[in-house]
Amino acid sequence: MIERYTRPEMGAIWSDENKYKIWLEIEILACEAMAKLGLVPNDVAPTVRKKAKINVARINELEETTKHDVIAFLTSIEEYVGKPSRYIHLGMTSSDVLDTCFALQCKQSGELLINGLEELKQVLKKRALEFEDTMCIGRTHGIHAEPTTFGLKLALWFDECNRNINRMKNAVDEISYGKINGAVGTFEHLSPKVEEHVCKNIGLKPAPITTQVIQRDRHANFISTIALTGSMLEKIALEIRHLQRTEVREAEEYFSIGQKGSSAMPHKKNPIVSENICGQARILRANAFAAMENNALWHERDISHSSVERIIFPDSTISLDYILHKTINLVDKLIVYPDRMFMNLEMTNGIIYSQKVLIELAKRGLKRQTAYELVQASAMRTWKENLPFQEALIENKELMKHFTMEELQNLFNHDVIFRNVDFIFKRCGIK
């Protein structure tokens, strides 16, 4: 991922420095376990821990010749450790180091993402409570439907954020498995106790069964969870993009002092953060497809997944981390215009109360379709003639056989929509 979209803490997880430190720790822990089993001298692990150093430049230089990253790494460590290095990597295959390290990096990045999601959840809760009773128009198919509250929009996102926290926790748990069991996963040259020791000490669990590699359904699930989480952030950003449109202007991104919206038009305030979030969410979905393609490998392993993973895992975790924190800031500083919301609510001359009239007619004994047609006839006049809906209803003589003027007018109020908002907030866990 390019530096522009990389937050330092997440970027550090995928750095070569961190990767090689984990590789070295895996090798040292394996030596410790083998020493307990009497397979290597007891002083090997302490010696390696004391003398070995991570020299990224040297490893890269060696890889130019070896064309093999693990061999380049081991060669570099040998240069520091000397003779005891002959016990390093004993009976192991490259994927023992690579996949175990990869699992730990995924775990580290996933835990960072969970922290971000928890932060977003709290921001959504705070703002949902702030706008619990702020009435706005609900739109279906982009068309005015019935009143809702802006707090309910935020509560909806809060609830989905909760689900994504649970999904991410499950995905992190599922990917937190290592393997130290040799070339095709049979433990031919190793004891399972080595694997147990390594995994326990770096915070992983031993995979119950593997080939040369840990199976990639675990990784596909992790990346798919990232993509699904990204789609939630896109949902939030897309709604804000619509609400910021000049014709709507019910909410807008915070526009800082000195910020510029256009190189040509000084008046412009564009929803650039929301657009960035929507754009990067597309990348996350594309990467999820690639991760699924990686699950089917030849026999006990081929290398077709490797190059893909070197790109999509750092990119996906870094990208989600970036847009997640952008969303936190976006929601936290979102500027909301309740007066404009009410103005938009009223702009369709009251037809948003059509269902209330329909329901009341049905209660008074009309067949539902007969009632529907009566109300629709008046609603179509309102659309066509820009006539207030209440007037169109009053002029509908057949409909007015069932209402007094006062009864009809009483249907045109906002109070009822708030009746169950508190119940919904409690059911979502906001209250």
Q: Please, what sign has the CA dihedral across residues 240, 254, 339, 150?
A: positive
Residue 2's pLDDT is 83
Residue 415's pLDDT is 76
Strands (E), 245-353: 251-252, 335-336
Residue 262's pLDDT is 85
- CA–CA dist 375, 20 (Å, integer): 71
Please provide the size of the chain in residues: 431
Token code pair at residue 227: 């993509």
- CA–CA dist 120, 323 (Å, integer): 11
Q: What are phi and psi of 178, to 5 degrees?
A: -110, 175
- CA–CA dist 361, 313 (Å, integer): 58
- CA–CA dist 139, 240 (Å, integer): 13
- CA–CA dist 151, 128 (Å, integer): 4
pLDDT digits (tens, 9 = 90+) for 16-54: 999 999 999 999 999 999 999 999 999 999 999 999 999
* Domains along the sequence of the chain with CATH: 3-87 (1.10.275.10), 94-192+204-252+267-342 (1.20.200.10), 351-411 (1.10.40.30)
- CA–CA dist 221, 219 (Å, integer): 5
- CA–CA dist 190, 198 (Å, integer): 12
Residue 417's pLDDT is 79
pLDDT digits (tens, 9 = 90+) for 63-83: 999 999 999 999 999 999 999
Q: Annotated catalytic residue: which of 141, 263, 267, 299?
A: 141
Residue 416's pLDDT is 78
- Cα Rg of the chain, angstroms: 30
94 noted as active-site residue: no
Strands 335-336 and 177-178 come out as unpaired
Residue 348's pLDDT is 94
Residues of the chain with pLDDT under 70: 1
Residue 418's pLDDT is 86
Q: Annotated catalytic residue: which of 176, 189, 219, 262?
A: 262
Residue 301's pLDDT is 93
- CA–CA dist 78, 87 (Å, integer): 10
pLDDT digits (tens, 9 = 90+) for 406-431: 999 999 887 777 889 999 999 999 99
